[in-house]
A and B are shown apart, each in its own frame.
Chain A
Amino acid sequence: MSSPAPRYKRDARLPHQEVQGQAVVVAPARREVHEFDETATFLWSALSRERTVAELVEALCEEYEVDAEAAERDVREFVSMLEEKGLVVRA
């Protein structure tokens, strides 16, 4: 039996703000500041609730005219970066 797909959620403790349509996220412990483009901002916003990669891909495809395969690749890459930087946690 395969294990359920991991669910991700942004770390609610991290400071963030949307500046001229782009999400800015501060990671004080690492002394880092991240700024996202429009698509990444959309995904960051979606991650205010627990989401699987599949759910994020679906949301992205609904919002933008984007090929599902490319969307999945981009979402996986983005979520992996968020996890590596400590910006999201697994629910």
Chain B
Amino acid sequence: MNGCAILQDLNARAYDGCIPLNVSLELTLRCNIRCTHCYNFDRDEPRPAPGAELSMEELRVLMDDLRRAGTLFLSLTGGEAMVHPRFWEIADEASSRGFALMVLSNGTLLTEPACDRLASYGSLWAVSLSLYGARAETHDGITQVAGSFERTMAGARRLAARGVRVGLKFVLMKANALEAEQMIAAAEGEGFDYSIDPTITGRYDGTSGSLSTRVDAQTLERLYAGPLRSLITPGPADPTDDQFKCNCARGNAAVSSTGEVYPCIATPLRAGSIRERSFAEIWTDSPVFRWIRGLRVADFKTCAPCGLKSWCRRSPGPAYLLTGNYTGIDPWTCQEASIIKSVAAP
């Protein structure tokens, strides 16, 4: 098997065996940019009272626990992970423990010395950078920080020049939808991996101002007929329970900056806190995780009878953040499925 097939097989086995192979570790909710669509909280408003971030000692204990539980891929994320004052110490600790390290960042702090240090990690699997436009004006308008586009692109190029695998993550919204093709062309032209997604969710703090940045139906249809066409991968019309569910609480988990354990970073459904119980105990015994693992298609009351399942890109995060219900729906996702069907099977 090649590496890609091995990874697919590993993830399938992690799903079957409930092994937390992939864990996102949110180091902080602090950030040095103010994206209009941020899913953490509204960065134009005073920040909700933050809890105390995990200490170095708590992080060390957690990392040891994750190793024993079977984690291989550890993603350091935020907020902006690199603004954490002990980011390098954390990355050193993660690297020395045998994790395959991924760093999810906005890229604005990727100076020459920072790139040298990241590239020096033999454990660094990839760096994923968020990019919100093909033009500086567009990207900086979304991040609300002048110069952020240039800094992110410079960081991406510095890392690539050092042989680091760089992935650009394009989030499509009203303000940048018309640049989708240029964004793809730029990534391909410079040899970067990329992903592109029009999904915008509500926020961790329960506010939904981020949703106003979503593309409208007409634009979404144009996108799926064009630059997003590769995202159309029809699934079975009548999926099995395992085909319908994602890797949440099976092969994936997340730990927040304050120690809350979630089924994935996009779905902040609290399963426990590592300040109260070990990760392993939460992973094994949490009623929330047991419930998620036991869900069947029939438990998704709106989705189960829906005729759009082949075309649906549902994931629990948007539904949970909008409704507080893991098995609920975000009507935007339903509309998206309908649009995908109309484009792919008119």
Contacts and interface: CB of A to CB of B under 8 A. Distances in A.
Interface of A: 11, 13-20, 24, 26, 28-29, 31-35
B72 A13 contact: no
B165 A14 contact: no
Given A26-B125, A28-B123, A31-B165, 14 more contacts: A15-B123, A16-B72, A17-B21, A17-B98, A19-B10, A28-B122, A28-B124, A28-B126, A28-B165, A32-B3, A33-B6, A34-B3, A34-B6, A35-B9
15 contacts: A17-B67, A19-B13, A19-B14, A19-B21, A19-B72, A20-B17, A20-B19, A24-B10, A24-B72, A28-B124, A31-B3, A33-B7, A34-B3, A34-B6, A35-B6
A16 B1 contact: no
Contacts of A15: 72, 98-101, 123, 125
A76 to B, nearest CB: 23
A35 B100 contact: no
Contacts of B99: 15
A34 B13 CA distance: 15
Interface of B: 1, 3, 6-7, 9-10, 13-14, 17, 19, 21, 67, 70-72, 95, 98-101, 121-126, 163, 165
Contacts of B71: 17
A35 to B, nearest CB: 5
Query: Which of A14, A19, A34: most chain B Cβ within 10 A?
Result: A19
A86 to B, nearest CB: 10
B123 A33 contact: no
Contacts of A35: 1, 6, 9-10
Query: Which of B17, B67, B98, B121: most chain A Cβ within 10 A?
Result: B98
B72 A17 contact: yes
Contact of B123 (A14, A19, A24): A14
B1 A28 contact: no
A29 to B, nearest CB: 7
Contacts of A14: 98, 122-123
A32 B122 CA distance: 13
B163 A29 contact: yes
Contacts of B21: 17, 19
A17 B125 contact: no
A28 B166 CA distance: 12
Given A26-B125, A28-B100, A13 B95 contact: yes
Contact of B70 (A19, A26, A29): A19
A34 B333 CA distance: 37
Contacts of B17: 20
B74 to A, nearest CB: 9
Contacts of B123: 13-15, 26, 28
A24 B125 CA distance: 14
Query: Which of A13, A19, A33: most chain B Cβ within 10 A?
Result: A33
A20 B14 CA distance: 9
